[in-house]
Structure 1
């Protein structure tokens, strides 16, 4: 089992490298967009089932960093400043669970709003609510609780959240003086709140067998909460 988990973790990390490489690519402009204020608000978000706990400050720092890395002046340097405001509403940072039987997934639920600096106008009518899953987290039969720490899970979710924000901007590029794009679906990004709309995507409804749980989580290890 230990070798099996190590192999799956290696596969996930190898695949993830390709996704992360996109930050090194020079993106096409999104109209006149240039990042102004980069704001992340985290105020006791809902913690979903089978989740590790992290502080609001940690989430705030992770989101600000991810948005800056993706949308900052190193990548977008248009003629007009726009502000991006994110509010973290809920999350699951999956515990190890039971491999092959019970593998909860990690998700982040947030809303995002866009504002033009010169007019202070809000560009979207209503806050845009998005759920993201970790990049490369869909390794068959196992969740990332076995292969990543809480900090690594949070960083991966923030990375995907920033990518989801960038995709939303491209799909609505007219807000920034550009031409809207039609993008292919991404199965790590969903509209809405998965904790409310479809919680079975995070964890199956049944409890894992107690004897298997005991075998997988010996004394002194982290298991289900």
Structure 2
């Protein structure tokens, strides 16, 4: 095998491996002050399927997204409860296609509101919406519709949506008693 082909294959494998889902247990927590997960409310009844897509029920979406959010945000042990309310607006779960010609990607659109549990007040005045795509991995490089089950696609999207929500909370850490001077 010529060297340039071997180099290209090795580089591709390294890049695909680097995109793999990280292990939450080994990753250090971001600073979120007094944040502690209170209620984790996910509403899937509003989810609109965007074709072409595999079908998924509201119950399936609610379960997978609640689990992902619990796994990610339940790790914080602050002393004040905050409630996360998520509405699933739309989704597309990739269907089998023709590799390298038509290989649709999976995506989910969620709207998030964060509540101060004790005060019963919203912390974000406007609902925050996220458009979340599946992660690139060795399993879905040619299209997740060909290589993954619907459940695996949903887990991947839920993991990425929970990560986006955590990143948003970190961007707004002053909500959780982290002073601006601590951020700088």
CA distance in 2, matches of 1:36, 1:54: 27
Unmatched 5+ stretches in structure 2? 1-8
Deviations, residues 70-114 of structure 1 (Å, cap 9, x unaligned): 000xx2001111011110010000001111111111000000010
| Secondary structure of 1:37 counterpart | strand
Say if 2:63 is the partner of 1:61.
yes
Please state how far the C-alpha of 1:29 moved relative to its aligned partner: 2.8
Q: 2:38 matched to which residue of 1?
A: 36
- Per the alignment, residue 77 of structure 1 pairs with 77
1:118 aligns with 2:121: no
**1:93 aligns to 2:93 (yes or no):** yes
Q: Unaligned regions of 5+ residues in structure 1, if any?
A: 1-6, 183-225
Runs of 4+ in 1 over 6 A off after TM superposition: 138-141
- For 1:25 and 1:140, locate their aligned partners in 2 and report how far apart those are by CA, in whole Å: 24
Task: Kindly state the Cα deviation for residue 141 of structure 1 after the two structures are TM-superposed.
Answer: 6.9
- Equivalents in 2 of 1:140, 1:37: separation in Å? 33
Report the CA distance shift for 1:56/1:140 in structure 2 as closer, same or farther (over 3 A): closer
Match of 2:166 in 1: 166
2:165 and 2:132 map into 1 onto residues whose CA distance is 11
Q: Give the stretch that moved more between structures: 57-66 or 45-54.
A: 45-54
| Secondary structure of the structure 1 residue equivalent to 2:152 | helix
Aligned residues: 171
Q: Using a 3 Å threshold, how does the CA distance of structure 1 residues 82 and 95 change in structure 2: closer, same or farther? A: same
Q: 1:59 to 1:141 in 2, by over 3 A?
A: closer
Cα distance, 1:142–1:135 mapped onto 2, change above 3 Å: same
**In structure 1, C-alpha distance between the alignment counterparts of 2:155 and 2:139, rounded to whole Å:** 18
How far 1:43 sits from its partner (Å)?
Answer: 0.7
Q: CA offset at residue 48 of structure 1?
A: 0.8
Structure 1 pair 23–132 and aligned structure 2 pair: CA distance change class (3 A):
farther
* Cα 1:141–1:157 shift into 2, 3 Å: closer
CA distance in 1, matches of 2:60, 2:16: 23
Cα distance in structure 2, aligned partners of 1:24 and 1:88:
29
- The residue number in structure 2 matching 1:52 is 54
